[in-house]
Amino acid sequence: MSVDTQTRMNLSATLASVSVAGCLVLAKLWALGTTNALSIAASLADSALDLMVSLGGLAAVAYAARPPDEDHAFGHSSAEDLAALGQSLFILISAAAIAVAAMLRLTGEAPPLEAEGRGIAVMVLSVVLTAGLVTWQARVARKTGNRVVQADRLHYLGDLIPNIGAILALWASARFGLGQVDSVVALGAAGMLAVGAVRIGLSAWNALMDRRADPRLVEGIAAIADRWPDVRGWHDLKTRTAGSRVFVNLHIELDGDQPLRDAHAIGAGLRREILHHYPHADVIIHKDPDDEPEEDPA
């Protein structure tokens, strides 16, 4: 698959994500005004977050197609982490507001829910659209391996739970008059939002602080270097993350007496192999002469 085809598929997935999130925000705003249900408020906050995340993903995919410039030799992917920190703060504030409102309703007299049928219809629409979106994102992610699309898909998969919970809360209110179920579902959704916010915020903070990449990725690169032909050893394997990119620096030890062209070919082949396994990486390989003399096989 060509790079242009991959870019088009990734853009189609992120554009679909933005479109679905925008439609759901508008539908849930109407449903919230109609039903006065906190569970829908929680779902609305989650959809608003989805819209921001999807817009960030769309910008990241479009930005990733741009080459580094004179002022940003390593690209612009750290902007993703700055945006993620802002998003995590927004999520925490939204989760706290929903949790406080839910607790007040549980401890006091909750206003009755209204037009539950309309609210259920909107939430069913939300589930259907979300399921269709994650199906398309899964197909794109399998073909392109794009990490932004994969992360966006996981986020939308998590959204199915509060949406289904809102449907159950509205059904319980309409069928049995159990309006308090709405507040319980809202509390659960607020907890999920808070956990997601902390996870996103910590990940972005670690990236901005140049924390090393996933240990499994580091071990995988080390294993590739260990078995690569004509590499006598390696050292100073360093990694850092920025947005969806992983930057890798690796020193390999080669026969110092071989032609420069041969040494370059060894390093280039190793780099291609690492990128084959980790296409989201940016790899720099330094070549050092091996100080240990090669043993005479005789």
Each residue's pLDDT tens digit, 25-62: 888 888 888 777 766 776 777 778 778 777 877 777 67
Q: Determine the pLDDT at residue 298.
A: 47
**Res 239 pLDDT > 50:** yes
Cα-only R_g, the chain:
25
Measure the CA–CA gap between 106 and 102, rounded to whole angstroms.
6
Burial of 33 (0-12, 13-18, 19+ CB in 10 A): exposed
Quote the Cα angle for 259-235-275, to 5°: 75
Sign of the alpha-carbon dihedral angle for 177, 178, 180, 182 = negative
Report long-range pairs for 256-259 (Cβ below 8 Å, ≥24 apart).
Answer: 256/289, 256/290, 256/291
Instruction: Please indicate whether residue 127 or residue 286 has the higher confidence score (pLDDT).
Output: 286
pLDDT, the chain, mean: 77
- The pLDDT of residue 177 is above 80: no
pLDDT for 115 equals 55
Residue 17 has pLDDT above 50, yes or no: yes
pLDDT at site 123: 77
Please answer whether residues 46 and 32 qualify as being in contact, where contact means their C-beta atoms are separated by less than 8 angstroms.
no
pLDDT at 293 exceeding the cut of 80: no
- Average of per-residue pLDDT across 91-99: 77
Q: In what order do the strands lie in the sheet with 233-242?
A: 233-242, 245-254, 281-289
Reduced to 3 states (helix: H, G, I; strand: E, B; else coil), residue 112 is coil
Burial 158-170 (b: 16+ CB within 10 A, else e): bbeebbbbbbebb
pLDDT score for 76: 59
Position 151 scores a pLDDT of 65
pLDDT digits (tens, 9 = 90+) for 250-278: 999 999 889 999 999 999 999 999 998 88
Average pLDDT over residues 69-91: 68
With 0.95 as the threshold, say if the pTM is over it. Answer: no
